[in-house]
């Protein structure tokens, strides 16, 4: 969203939410803050303001319904709830025409935790100010919570740079000096264009609020004017001024431009470039379908919902196809290695034949510099053949070839089995690749991703959330084939449902520092206690997880069961073994009664 479109959205929000009270604050994901607002004198009374600093799609608009809160509380969220709940929206300002919006909220000094004004607090009661700044640009968007003096209390995303770090003053990012489009005169405009590059490129670099979209519109209108006259810088300025006049006109009507009707937009064929949000009619998109929307918030919500669905569809399919290509390549290399191993083993029948010839000619074989000369009675013509051998006697040479025969025969059998398995895997992977390439619905891609053990929601590229948000997100990941429990101390305990699920849980889900448990000497489920690095697991949680390991094993009906436990990093797969079979080192044990004494966590739908 460019600066001009954002300015229209800011003006719209001023008319809509100024004076509204913040009822609650939520995080829909590590990048998206939601404010529930209440307006006593207007309908609908409740509104939801979305502020997202997702790296590729930073945005701000109202949403019709709340999004499901998907992350655990972070330091930013806790502070935002403390200082914003109960506050009223006092001011909304855009810094010049940049993509920085500042909210000034005023909060009574006496406010309950729920955000309701305490009894006896009136309009003349003391208030204090809270600031919320949304930087909605570039690859490093962010949200900042400010105190009354303008110092940063906390920021949503941790950054390496020290600008606007918590505890210091909020400092807007340093940006190149640009011209004000409202005061830019003809002479200054023409001087900008003399500096080279195309008209649209110079406008984007030199004029406030202009992004590629409106700069392209200036160039398109210039070309239209030049059809009836000689192209000139005067005509370029006329086109520029007409676009600026349209952009500052109030009220503006948002328009969504699409190559297909909105209801027919298909993520399979569409690109994010096939959707454009504009505050003015665009002449350079005459062939597109223009859909006028009742408000900028509604238009922004439609626009970002559509482009994010398109991008996520293509990202997920790309991730799946990349994963499948890697797996197919691995198995093709394995097939080549198996073929090489087969060639290295040689022909077992040749080794057996040479061994028998050497044994049959033990007394008559003639020693040569490189082996023994014997009569080949397997050949009807019975020629003399030389059999290579380093052993001093024919008997020892024969034993050597018989050993090679047994090794080659056994090796060929194993190689044939492994090659057959590899071919089956390759066939299945290629079949899945065809399904993924032909998929036309997100649900189908998500199911394929889950079947492959991939996350159905690829993470946004760009800046990472804060460490607290990453920990919270890890704790909320949903995995198929796993029972989830919560211990009495609040630890998450995961239990595999099948052999394949056990392997996925242990080697794809569990982190090296997690605790791994299994019933000793009995087949059963793998059990994992999830924990942060350096975090100690209380004895009660360890006992409850051990009881689960005993219960989900073939020793379920025993009165007492020994359960082994260790850190996940000491668990390794046994090569070429069945799924779920592992090798464990540095193991410890405890004896428990098989039962479930913890809370089962049901997956949310």
Q: What's the whole-number mean pLDDT along residues 27-39?
A: 91
The pLDDT confidence band at residue 480, using thresholds 50, 70 and 90, is low
Tens digit of each residue's pLDDT (9 = 90 or more) over 409-429: 999 999 999 999 999 999 999
Whether residue 482 contacts residue 496, with contact meaning beta carbons closer than 8 Å, is answered with yes
pLDDT of residue 552: 92
Nearest-10 crossing angle of helices 296-345, 394-438: 160
Q: Which of 504, 512, 520 is nearest to 553 (CA)?
A: 520
Question: Which tens digits make up the pLDDT trace of 512-523?
Answer: 999 999 999 899
CA distance from start to end of the chain = 32
Under a CB-based contact definition with an 8 Å cutoff, are residues 565 and 516 in contact?
Answer: yes
State yes or no: cis peptide before 251, omega within 30 of 0. yes
Checking if the pLDDT of 312 tops 80, the result is yes
Task: Return the pLDDT at 605.
Answer: 28
pLDDT at 603: 47
Closest residue by Cα to residue 506 from 574, 459, 428, 592 = 574
Q: For residues 436 and 367, what is the distance between their CA atoms, to the nearest angstrom?
A: 64
Q: Is the dihedral of CA 63, 64, 66, 68 positive or negative?
A: negative
Query: In angstroms, rounded to a whole number, what is the distance separating the alpha carbons of residues 237 and 102?
Result: 32
The DSSP code for 111 is: B
- Those residues whose C-beta lies under 8 Å from the C-beta of residue 217, and which sit 6 or more positions away, are 243, 280, 282, 283, 284
Task: Fill in the DSSP letter of residue 284.
Answer: G
The whole-angstrom separation of Cα 297 and Cα 310 is 20
Q: What is the pLDDT of residue 458?
A: 53
pLDDT tens digits along 139-177? 789 999 999 999 999 999 887 777 788 888 999 888 888
Among 22-31, 116-125, 230-239, which stretch is predicted with the lowest mean pLDDT?
116-125
For residue 444, CA distances in Å to 306, 314, 318, 439, 523 come to 18, 13, 14, 6, 34
Q: Which residue has the tokens 């309950």?
A: 112
Cα distances from 386 to residues 358, 377, 391, 433, in angstroms, run 10, 13, 14, 53
Residue 340 pLDDT > 80: yes
Query: Do the Cβ atoms of 550 and 594 come closer than 8 Å?
Result: yes
Greatest CA separation found in the chain?
121
| Paired residues of 482 in beta bridges | 496
Share of the chain above pLDDT 70, in %: 90
**Which region among 282-286, 352-356, 402-406, 485-489 has the lowest average model confidence (pLDDT)?**
485-489
Give ∠ CA 334-336-340 in degrees, rounded to 5. 115
CA atoms within 13 A of residue 504's CA, in its CB half-sphere:
20
Strand order in 88-94's β-sheet?
Answer: 59-63, 46-52, 32-38, 21-29, 88-94, 100-108, 127-135, 142-146, 152-155
Please compute the mean of the pLDDT values over residues 297-302 and round it to a whole number: 94
Contacts for 117-121: CB closer than 8 Å, 24+ residues apart: 117/86
Tokens 């806790």 correspond to 78
- Average pLDDT, integer, range 294-311: 92
Three-state DSSP class for residue 59:
strand
């Amino acid at each position: 969203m460019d600066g001009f479109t954002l300015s229209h959205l800011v003006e719209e929000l001023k008319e809509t939410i100024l004076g509204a009270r913040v009822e609650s604050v939520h995080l829909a994901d590590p990048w998206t803050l939601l404010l529930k607002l209440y307006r006593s004198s207007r309908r609908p009374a409740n509104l939801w303001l979305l502020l997202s600093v997702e790296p590729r799609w930073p945005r701000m608009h109202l949403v019709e319904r709340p999004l499901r809160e998907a992350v655990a509380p972070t330091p930013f969220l806790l502070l935002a709830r403390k200082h914003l709940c109960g506050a009223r929206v006092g001011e909304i300002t855009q810094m010049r025409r940049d993509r920085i919006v500042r909210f000034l909220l005023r909060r009574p000094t006496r406010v309950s935790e729920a955000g309701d004004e305490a009894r006896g607090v009136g309009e003349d009661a003391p208030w204090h100010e809270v600031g919320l700044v949304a930087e909605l640009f570039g690859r490093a968007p962010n949200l900042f919570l400010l105190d009354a003096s303008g110092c940063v209390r906390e920021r949503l995303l941790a950054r390496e740079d020290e600008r606007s770090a918590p505890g210091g003053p909020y400092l807007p990012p340093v940006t190149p000096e640009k011209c004000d489009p409202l005061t830019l005169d003809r002479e200054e405009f023409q001087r900008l264009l003399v500096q080279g590059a195309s008209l649209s490129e110079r406008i984007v670099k030199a004029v406030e609020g202009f992004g590629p979209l409106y700069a392209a519109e200036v160039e398109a209108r210039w070309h239209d004017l030049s059809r009836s006259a000689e192209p000139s810088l005067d005509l370029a300025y006329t086109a520029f001024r007409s676009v600026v006049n349209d952009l500052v006109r109030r009220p503006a009507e948002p328009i969504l431009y699409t190559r297909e009707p909105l209801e027919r937009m298909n993520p399979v064929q569409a690109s994010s470039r096939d959707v454009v949000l504009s505050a003015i009619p665009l002449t350079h998109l005459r062939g597109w379908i223009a859909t006028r929307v009742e408000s900028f918030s509604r238009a922004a919500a439609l626009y970002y919902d559509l482009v994010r669905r398109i991008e996520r569809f293509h990202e997920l399919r790309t991730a799946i196809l990349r994963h499948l290509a890697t797996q197919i390549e691995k198995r093709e290399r394995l097939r080549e290695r198996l073929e090489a191993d087969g060639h290295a083993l040689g022909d077992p029948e040749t080794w057996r034949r040479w061994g028998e010839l050497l044994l049959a000619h033990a007394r008559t074989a003639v020693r040569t510099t490189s082996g023994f000369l014997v009569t080949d009675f397997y050949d009807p013509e019975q020629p003399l053949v030389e059999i290579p051998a380093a052993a001093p006697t024919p008997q020892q040479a024969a034993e050597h070839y018989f050993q090679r025969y047994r090794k080659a025969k056994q090796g060929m059998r194993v190689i044939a089995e492994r090659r057959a398995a590899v071919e089956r895997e390759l066939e299945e992977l290629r079949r899945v690749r065809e399904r993924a390439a032909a998929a036309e619905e997100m649900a189908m891609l998500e199911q394929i991703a889950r079947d492959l053990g991939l996350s159905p929601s690829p993470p946004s590229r760009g800046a990472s959330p804060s460490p607290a948000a990453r920990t919270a997100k890890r704790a909320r990941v949903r995995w198929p084939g796993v029972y989830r429990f919560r211990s009495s101390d609040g630890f998450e305990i995961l239990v595999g449902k099948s052999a394949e699920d056990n392997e996925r849980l242990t080697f794809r889900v569990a982190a090296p520092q997690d605790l791994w448990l299994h019933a000793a000497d009995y087949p059963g489920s793998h059990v994992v206690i999830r924990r942060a690095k350096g975090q100690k697991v209380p004895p009660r949680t360890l006992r409850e997880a051990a009881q689960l390991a005993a219960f989900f094993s073939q020793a379920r009906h025993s009165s007492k069961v020994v359960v082994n436990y260790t850190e996940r990093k000491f668990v390794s797969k046994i090569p070429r073994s069945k799924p779920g079979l592992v090798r464990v080192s540095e193991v410890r044990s405890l004896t428990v009664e098989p039962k479930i004494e913890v809370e089962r966590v049901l997956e949310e739908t």
